[in-house]
Amino acid sequence: QTDSQPGREPTLVARLRVLIQNQLGDHTLSVRRLAEQSGCTADYLSHLFREVTGETLIGCINRLRMERAARLLRETTLAGKEVAWACGFAAPSYFIRTFRAHHGVTPRAWRAGTSGRRVRRRPSSSRATTRTRSTYGFAPGTRPRPER
């Protein structure tokens, strides 16, 4: 299964890349599931993938999901939750957190940026951080924006 020519990727890793691409939109995609489909253990699969690529298997899956999300936000008019689902996230809120951690901005801010370029985050003002929050969870004198 891992036979390959010198300088080429092992067959198992090449097949794994195809499996990942074909299942990227499935929220049940996991290292364990890929291992079951490949007929080996999750530990072995993770170790082999990292040895060959220098990237963790779950890191690769998350990176590919974020790349797909950025492309969909840039090239389509899908709603944020539809982009989340298309990228394998069952919960849009988790998608937003993950996207922000990866790209530095929310999906909405990414889409609002010109041609999908990264939008710089504005530094938070000290005034905003010293305000107290009301019982409704937002700062006094501000109103939450309605979801679109």
123 vs 102, higher pLDDT:
102
Amino acid identity of residue 8, one-letter, is: R
Q: What is the DSSP string of 67-124?
A: HHHHHHHHH----HHHHHHHTT-S-HHHHHHHHHHHHSS-HHHHHHSGGGPPPPPPPP
Task: Report the alpha-carbon distance of residue 73 to residue 85 in Å, rounded.
Answer: 13
Work out the burial of residue 96: count CB atoms within 10 Å of its CB; fewer than 13 is exposed, 13-18 middle, 19 or more buried. Answer: middle
Average pLDDT taken over every residue of the chain = 81
pLDDT 10s digits, 21-73: 999 999 999 999 999 999 999 999 999 999 999 999 999 999 999 999 999 99
Confidence of residue 134 (pLDDT cuts 50, 70, 90): very low
The per-residue pLDDT for 147 is: 56
User: Are 72 and 83 contacting, i.e. CB atoms less than 8 angstroms apart?
Assistant: yes
- What are the CA-CA distances from residue 7 to residues 3, 15, 52, 60 (Å)? 12, 16, 11, 21
Say if residue 123's pLDDT is above 50: no
